[in-house]
Amino acid sequence: MSSSPDGARKRPRTDGPTSRWRHVRALSKFIKLSVDVQRLPRGSVPPDDELASLALGVFRKYDKDQNGTLDLGEFKYMLLDLGVSHANLHKNVVEQYISTIDLNRDRAMCFDEFLIAYKALIGWDRERATLRAPFKCGSAASSPQRLLPDSPLDSCPRSHAPAVLVGDVPFAVCERYKLERLIGRGAYGVVAAASDGVTGERVVVKRVAAVGHPVELQATMRELVILRHIRRHPHENLIGLLDMTPPPAGSLDAWDALFLILPRMDCDLHAIIRSNQPLSDDHCQFFAYQLLRGLFALHSAGVVHRDLKPSNLLVNKDCTLRIADFGISRTLGETESALSVLDTDRACEGRRVRPLTNYVVTRYYRAPELLLECVHYTRAVDVWSVGAIIAEMALRRPLLCGTSATHQLELIGDMLGAPSAAERAALLDMHGASAQQLRLLAAAGERTAGERTVGSAGSRVAAVLAANSTFGNADNGSIDLVAQMLRYTPADRMDVPAALEHAWLREMHECNEEPRLPPVMMPSYPGRGVSRKHLQLLAIESVRELHAAPLAPPAPSERGVAA
């Protein structure tokens, strides 16, 4: 992927005041007040943190020029030194963790970043051990017909809550949560608004089936693992799990649904775009920045979202934005299932399986390599989606509204022009790309511009946006950013770190306020793949973790699924 012009992600100054967040209006169709968007809380280390004191001493030893930074080699060697000498980790474990970190080779690392990475290493090793235990050979995961005698169910709380109908859907949650009304239905679940009787917070209860086709169960497991991970490592721009209803008393055969408690937000970006709420350049900048900030954290955890769209971006009246819905996310390196996001329509034919997502809506935000059915794709599929979303905020309608995958490719060809010879070769090189659809893509582009060079793509996108955008003209920074995201091949697209440094977002960008997350560890599914017992084991482990300590009320900046 492309990077910033000088090849390095600049480190902000730490010897003076940092940049301030812009003041933007509240985004509510009912209340239009001018508010200050508070600066996201900066990560800090308590002065009495023994781990931080230890790390600081070692950091100063490696920082030979005393400039407060380490180069990549020093950074990795110090992480290895501390991991082996002080955390008693095996050298191979530390090296495996280092290999998962997405680091820019030319970028200097400050102490805060090192401390985050070191703490993440320790947490990663613990999580790795936790996830490995229930799914090891000979466990209930590899023999799902029974739960082992030492199953975590022995120490798991059980629920005696009766099922209550909300609309026509039964919800079984404890008395702490007061159910109000249904607010959404999706392919995998039903969402009800509720309130927390202990904290007074507004929440939602998401009911997801614990039975069904393995593809559906696998999506539920992925979402649960990622939500748990975000709960352990909270991020202001990602939705995390607050609580979860324990399994019902009695036989687990009656456990047919999971009830996830999630933060509740005012609405989603789709509703705002479709409303008559004015969207200023300040609004769009702030939303774009938060989207990229959350995506940077998600990608640093090794997760590709794959379903970014306005309805999956939840928003509060103070303009706080959080990414949600991780059901079809993948971790980098994870083996693709037979039913992927590419094959939703075909795989569902003749089966009693619901589609992974709303195929028509999601298609508008799909990168060319997904539409071309490439199997090996990267984080760049999310970057394309971000570009399409930013353009939609400007246009107040989707940028490209294809009626099928083929039609979507034709619209992309009309906008970008025919792919160059180098781009065609790159797309065909991504295993699985359909040569027939690639020819259709080229033919669509030739109707408008014929053969072109890679560099001309940006000007074509800019021209399309400038002709329709409420932002005014092609000199607007948002148009330049979108033009660099909407490129045929992943390598030609601007990556997320470079996008955060783009001139349009420069006033908000602060490297030290854009934290990484440790890698997500997805459990493997031996044998024939995921089963109901696998999901039950993961859910039981999640309940034990959630109920091990009282649930703390969320911080104001973390509040927020849409009402």
Binding residues for ATP: 206
Dist. CA 563–CA 45, nearest whole Å: 35
SS3 for 247-289 is CECCCHHHCCEEEEEEECECEEHHHHHHCCCCCCHHHHHHHHH
Distances (CA, A) of 71 to 58, 78, 81, 421: 15, 11, 15, 38
Number of neighbouring beta carbons within 10 Å of residue 204:
24
Phi and psi angles of residue 285, each rounded to the nearest 5 degrees, phi first: -60, -45
Enter the tokens of residue 232. 């352990």
To 10 degrees, the CA torsion angle through 438, 442, 444, 450? 170
DSSP line for 441-492: HHHHHHHHT-S--GGGHHHHHHHHHHHH-TT-STTSHHHHHHHHH--SSGGG
Dist. CA 433–CA 424, nearest whole Å: 10
Beta-carbon contacts of 10 under 8 Å, excluding residues fewer than 6 positions away, are: 4, 501, 511
Give binding residues as ranges: 206
Residue at token pair 């039964």: 170
What is the SS3 assignment for 45?
A: coil
Phi and psi angles of residue 29, each rounded to the nearest 5 degrees, phi first: -70, -10
Quick check: is 475 catalytic?
A: no
Of the listed 125, 266, 307, 382, which one is catalytic?
A: 307
Asked whether the beta carbons of 356 and 320 are under 8 A apart, the reply is: no
Name the amino acid, one letter, at 192. A
Dist. CA 308–CA 292, nearest whole Å: 11
Torsion sign (Cα): 446, 396, 2, 521? negative
Of residues 76, 105, 41, the one with CA closest to residue 512: 41
Is beta strand 303-304 parallel, antiparallel or unpaired with respect to 330-331?
Answer: antiparallel
Dist. CA 263–CA 194, nearest whole Å: 10
Asked whether the beta carbons of 543 and 255 are under 8 A apart, the reply is: no
Torsion sign (Cα): 354, 561, 553, 327? positive
**DSSP character at residue 38:** P
Enter the tokens of residue 380. 């760049």
Of residues 246, 250, 252, 259, the one with CA closest to residue 547: 246
Dist. CA 426–CA 430, nearest whole Å: 7
Dist. CA 216–CA 220, nearest whole Å: 6
Enter the tokens of residue 101. 């970190």
Residues marked as catalytic: 307
